[in-house]
Amino acid sequence: MPNRFTLHGVWLSGPTYKVGLFLSLAGEPFDYVHVDLRAGEHKRPDYVARQRYGQVPLLVDAHNGRHLTQSAAILEYLADTTGRFGGADLDERIAAREWMYWDFDRLARGVYRPRGIRAGFMKAAPEVLEHYTAEGRAALASLDEHLAGRAFLVGEGLTIADIDIYGVTAYAGDAGHDLAETPNVAAWMRRIEALPGFRPATECLPQETRAA
């Protein structure tokens, strides 16, 4: 029987990993469709008709036919519809959302871009690499400060804010950041990695299409 959720994505993609990680931590098996970005599959009209931004990830919910885009919005949808990791009350839900907006404003660029440049996926002058690296370093430092004395970003348990931001910090090393400089971030990551259902990106996302 097909699974409720089908994730369309790329195994190297941080935003795709965020969604796969939620499903894995929630114990929700999912079908997976590999989108070949190099072949331009994400820009083909049939794909863009389903994912208006022409990007990965795309999550399809077979219960209602919804096509969901933007990883942070998908995480909110999954929290709403599965009842997992949404926060204990309204204040926690608000705080979790704040962290997800903060991520895309301050952190993601300073990790994903240096990672892409260093891996040769993107071309950039050395000063551009240094600019993004400095931005990431500053964001990791402020995350470290917030995590001092806390187990998770919001409240007492795991929320979509942790899943969202873990989906960025998981690539910090590839981006040239040294997590030894942010020990609270490193300890928080280990805490998430010890949770039941946790899988690193390489195990969470197949490299090819996978049905249930």
Ligand X SMILES: N[C@@H](CCC(=O)N[C@@H](CS)C(=O)NCC(=O)O)C(=O)O
Q: Which spans of this chain sit near ligand X (rule: CB under 6 A)?
A: 13-15, 37, 42, 54-57, 70-71
Pick the closer one to ligand X by CB: 16 or 182.
16
Element spanning 138, H or E:
helix 126-147
Any idea which residue has 């190297």 for tokens? 12
CA distance 92 to 161: 10
For ligand X, which residue has the nearest CB? 55
Pick the closer one to ligand X by CB: 75 or 192.
75
Task: Please state the closest distance from residue 33 (CB atom) to ligand X, in A.
Answer: 14
Task: Please state the closest distance from residue 198 (CB atom) to ligand X, in A.
Answer: 20
The CB density around residue 210, as the number of other CB atoms within 10 Å, is: 14
Pick the closer one to ligand X by CB: 139 or 155.
139
Pick the closer one to ligand X by CB: 26 or 58.
58
Task: Please state the closest distance from residue 151 (CB atom) to ligand X, in A.
Answer: 25
Per the structure block, which two tokens stand in for 85?
């990791």
Q: Considering Cα of 131, then 135, then 136, then 137, what sign does the dihedral take?
A: positive
Task: Please state the closest distance from residue 10 (CB atom) to ligand X, in A.
Answer: 6
Q: Name which of 210, 209, 181, 158 is nearest 41 in CA terms.
A: 209
Q: Name which of 108, 82, 105 is nearest 167 in CA terms.
A: 108
Task: Please state the closest distance from residue 196 (CB atom) to ligand X, in A.
Answer: 25
Pick the closer one to ligand X by CB: 57 or 136.
57
